[in-house]
Structure 1
Amino acid sequence: MVKGKIAIRKINCSKSRQVTFFKRRTGLLKKAKELSILCDAEIGVIIFSCTGKLYDYASTSMNSVIERYNKMKQDNQQQSITAAAIQFLQTETESLNQQLRCLQECNRRLMGEELSKLGLEDLKNLENVLEMGLKNVRSRKDQIHMEEMRELKRKVDDVEQENVQLRKKLRVVGRDHRESDGEFFAETSCNKERSKMSSQAIPYEDDMPERIVLQLSLQPKPYLLDVQKAASG
């Protein structure tokens, strides 16, 4: 008699559920063992019954199987994350490339190139954009000119103020110099006057004439007598 297929759903009868669990658990563990032997596979099976009992099978060691499982799971997650990141980067790169192509095309049109594909309305829009851009450029240029003029005026004012200060310092220095020269000339004149007066009052020894002292001798000298005798003879 051929067994009919049973529906895969929860068995309500607890006794029938226990019998089915025992049979299928035994068959599952047997198949796992056979698979590990035939195919040289590392297999670990963990079963918890509805009553909370633990049944397990490991071809090598349950700890090594669980450790290998966790490692492989992490690697798979990283690979998934890497694959998702690569996909995102590829999508983002394609979007950026598309934007770059659009910008290059707009730039060429602003330079007056590749206008053959544009219609009348597109050309009018391009003309408005260029006029607006030219207006902004001129406004910015005028602003820069005004800023430069203000800066130059500030520098001129600083130089003039510095010149005023220097002129004041020169006037003060000139006045002090003239006063010091006047005192010097007055002192020199006074010294000259004092020297003149002292020279008139007390003459120097070098300026005094030499005195000639004449001494009259009453007794004639012997050689004078000889001279007189020769003259009378």
Structure 2
Amino acid sequence: MGRNKIPIEKIANETKRQATFSKRRKGLFKKSEELAVLTSSQVAVIIFSSSGKLFEYSSESMTSLLKRYYNCHRDDDLEGLKNENEKLRLRIKHMMGEELLNLDMKELQELENQVQAGMSRIKARKTESLVEKIEEIQKRDHRLEVENQILRTQLLEAAKRVGDFGVSTPYSSLSLNVMSNKLDG
């Protein structure tokens, strides 16, 4: 008779789960050792139990195998980054209108749409910036007009006071009216 197939799901009973973990861990390590011996391959297995305890098997030095593993992935990552960098450089060149000979009609249309969308955003931001500058200048202009009006009033009052003391000045009442008209106009 053959063995009954058990469903692969979490074992609810803690004791049974621990016993199964221990047996299967030993079986995995035994199979890893057999694989390394039969095929002259380098094998490393790392297991963390549910309690966080570390178990490991290595056909050679775990440190040297892990370094080799990281170097392989670093090279893959580096190659991926180089490819991504090259794609981005080519995309920038396309956006600048360079190296367009290899693009088909669909790619050219997509590029044109992207450039037009970008130009629309640039124009919108430029318009927004100009409106902000105009509002800033208008506020400054209004503030200067108010300051000018205050100074004009102070000047007329000062000239009037000097005239009230009987001091003869070029700011007589007639000249005050003329000066007021000149300042207003």
TM-score after normalising by structure 1:
0.41
Helix, strand or coil: the match of 2:97?
coil
Give the C-alpha shift of residue 161 in structure 1: 0.8
Distance 1:91 1:180 in 2: 95
Distance 1:160 1:79 in 2: 79
Helix, strand or coil: the match of 2:102?
coil
Distance 1:161 1:89 in 2: 68
Distance 2:67 2:148 in 1: 73
Q: Residue deviations 1:57-79, cap 9 Å, x none?
A: xxxxxxxxxxxxxxxxxxx7776
2:136 aligns to what?
A: 151
Is residue 108 from structure 1 mapped to residue 79 from structure 2 by the alignment? no
Distance 1:153 1:121 in 2: 48
Identity of aligned residues (%): 22
Give the C-alpha shift of residue 155 in structure 1: 0.8
Give the C-alpha shift of residue 81 in structure 1: 6.4
2:175 aligns to what?
A: none
In structure 1, stretches of 5+ residues that fail to align are 1-75, 184-233
Alignment of structure 1 residues 28-47 onto 2, 5 Å: none
What RMSD over aligned residues (CA atoms) do the two structures have, in Å?
2.5
In structure 2, stretches of 5+ residues that fail to align are 1-60, 169-185
Change (3 A) 1:116 1:165: same
Q: Which has the larger radius of gyration?
A: 1
1:136 to 115, 121, 125: 121
Give the C-alpha shift of residue 96 in structure 1: 2.1
Equivalent residue pairs, number: 108
- Higher-RCO chain (CA-CA 8 Å, sequence separation at least 6): 2
1:172 aligns to what?
A: 157
Q: Residue deviations 1:10-66, cap 9 Å, x none?
A: xxxxxxxxxxxxxxxxxxxxxxxxxxxxxxxxxxxxxxxxxxxxxxxxxxxxxxxxx
Give the C-alpha shift of residue 91 in structure 1: 3.5
Is residue 160 from structure 1 mapped to residue 152 from structure 2 by the alignment? no
Distance 1:103 1:175 in 2: 74
Change (3 A) 1:180 1:114: same
Distance 2:101 2:123 in 1: 29
Give the C-alpha shift of residue 95 in structure 1: 2.4
TM-score after normalising by structure 2:
0.50
Distance 2:148 2:86 in 1: 60
